[in-house]
Structure 1
Amino acid sequence: NVSAIDEFKEDFYHKDLYELTAKAGLCVVIPCSFTNADDFTPKHIIWYKCERPKNCSGAPIIFHSNNKNSQPGFEGRVSRLEPDVSQKNCSIIINDLKESDSGFYQLRVTGQVNGKKNGFTFNQTVTVSVKGLKQKPTVMIPTLTEGQQATLTCTAPGLCSGSVPQITWTWRGAGGTESYITGNSTAFKTESLTDVTQRHVSTLTFNPSAEHHNTNVTCKIHFTGEMTTEKTSGLKVNITGVTTVRDSEALNLTCNVHSFPPSLIIWSKLGSNEKLHTDPGSANLVITNVTAGDAGQYVCTAKYMNKRLKDKVNVTVICEYTALDRIYFYCCPLAIMVTAFIFNVLKELLMTFQTPSSLHLTCWSRGSSSSTMLSFLIVYCESFRPQYICEHYQNKDLYMLDMQNQFISCIIFI
């Protein structure tokens, strides 16, 4: 029936659908629809892969909606987006693409006109060009804190419903050697978005440590046909070790770098050119009797081949003063005479202060009918010997700091 055949129209005749570009390992959707005369009943759609455009004579079948044999290389890889032919949707999806899938694809629709078999092969072909895979997976890394469990997420590129890809995680330390992260657990899931689209996701859960800081983690996707893609991301771990010590206690700082040959580890203090400790592979800096002067920023430098890696840690020293410890202070009335007083603390006192901020103490003179208010300015803190300078004065009399009803608190914070 010529009238019925002449009324076929396919939507993919539009120019933007003549040529499609896809990536190896992923998938391609060939969108297609048709219309027909009222007396034609469509039954099946057939797709061919041609070597040349407009010359598909004898071309192999890659898809037949009647489940007839298709070319072996395409079996199981081609699906319809709409299984009901009466909807006139001839779109297909080809999964697990190979570069050899590049070529020209032609549609044929078969059916009946007045109970007799009929069909039509469209002259127009769709060009599919399959290129090498350049898309990388998407890796999501949360904020990492030492000792707190964290989960990394890797999502494969594409939303294809073909073969499930294999996803692996590897870790590369400072020495450049790849290995698997120990003490971890991985999970894989496939999320079905539609009947023909899926998202493939892998998660890696582990406990970050200082060992993982400034290292790289790689998520690698293995698709069917030996197609692979990967993405490498750097790890930054927030170190939460104890960096606050009390005066006279011991400070122990450890810096480790895993490499071969071993890296040279150097401990130094910011503002000083002195190398406090040097060792290959791992270096422990120990200060047995900490004083306020030991507070500051310490830098660990790792030298490996021609590379240099640095990390730092801030150390806080807390000065403590308990009952009957002696506090020395200086009062300077009229900026003329300097007199040192020694006063026994009658109450437990924790001495801490924050630099460069200043803490003002209130004091008053004894033996006076009306208290004379003064303000003392902290200059610095030495272990068990804090020094004060009287900032304000009222007369030439000498004043003492009354600690009986005071609890003074400040902090050395660096």
Structure 2
Amino acid sequence: MTEKNCSMVINDLQKSDSGSYQLRVEGKGEAFTYLAKAKLSLADLNQKPSVMIPPLTEGQQASLTCTAPGLCSGSPPKITWMWRGEGENDSYIIGNITALKTENLTAFTKRHVSTLIFNSSADHHNTSITCKVNFTGGIITEETVTLNVNYVRKPQISGRATVKEGDVLNLTCSVDSFPPSVISWSKSTKQAEHQSHNLIKVHGRHEICYQDTSRILLFSITNVTAEDAGLYICTAQHLNYTLREEINVTVKYVRKPQIFGRTTVMEGDDLNLTCSVDSVPPSVIKWTKSGAKAHCQENIFSKVDNSTVIYLLEKSGHVSFSIMNVTVEEAGRYICTATYQNDSMTEEIHVKVNFNHVKHCACGGGALLWVVAGVSLSVHLFSMIYLYHSRNTRKKAEPTEDDQTYMCMQKTNASAGYNVIVQQPH
């Protein structure tokens, strides 16, 4: 009374506390009731707790706070945290819940706060967490919020990595993340030791489609060619992180065999032929030679003997062979057969071997030259004898010394044969 303060505080209000209140002052043998009345009407609690959630990142520690509604000066409430996954019942979240903290604001007002500390993960993303406050008298209020956790998973590429030329290439890159990542496709090109990434442009045979709120990026190429083979890269840009995933695309194709080499060679030279087949995967290449009878084919590599040496050189897509010291028997039709998958293709070349006259003359040696010399000598002798006989027949008389003609044969050398020299005396 001396302080002139007759305030009254009712803690933990119940519905039974509803009604009218009057101030009554009692003194020494005296009492006085004021006529003014304060009517108190209680309603159901409609205030909810205030839940504060900071930005959540997977793998990092997070602190969530729940503040009880009102500035209650009565008994401290009980605050609990509940977590609910998709299609699950309420359960206690694994974490450290600090003791209830009460802040005294004034002599009659207090704030009650609970803090939950836990390690957030992608499992918590898009789930619900509830802060429940129990007051004295069975009064309960709660607040439920949805958790958003920043996370990202490695890009996943699906689609056939091996296609045939002319088919359609479909590659899909999916990235599970929050917030959604920015996805892009690129193709790797190597120039010397430098690797650059060229973004695939949407034009012609190329098409890019977005699906499922940018979490999936579909890339498609129609009428695939051999040039479309290579390393394709899916890049996901998520906040400050960049993640990549690669797929090596193989395009199956085959080209017609090509034969390289001279088709006309001289006897005694070397025959070099190469068959090249551009295909993925590599083809099985075989050389054969067509025989004269019924065009029968035989593997030329079975004809190695002492006089003919065949060299075989195999590389990826190339088969070369050489025949040393070619003979006229090596002329003919050579066939390159490429077996790709279950199909076969052939290409042929006709080889002509020219007769080497010099080589055969050299083989005859001195015997041939002696024959030529003998024939030359016989012709010369016959001519001289015929001339001598004719002259004697015309004169029909004994020849004089002036008319006498005699012959002598002089052998100059074996290679030149004989020279016939006609001499007349002076």
Shorter-chain TM band: 0.3 to 0.5
Instruction: Name whichever structure is richer in helix by fraction.
Output: 2
| Structure having the higher Rg | 2
**Higher relative contact order (Cα pairs below 8 Å, separated by 6+ residues):** 1
> TM-score, normalized by length of structure 2?
0.42
> TM-score, normalized by length of structure 1?
0.43
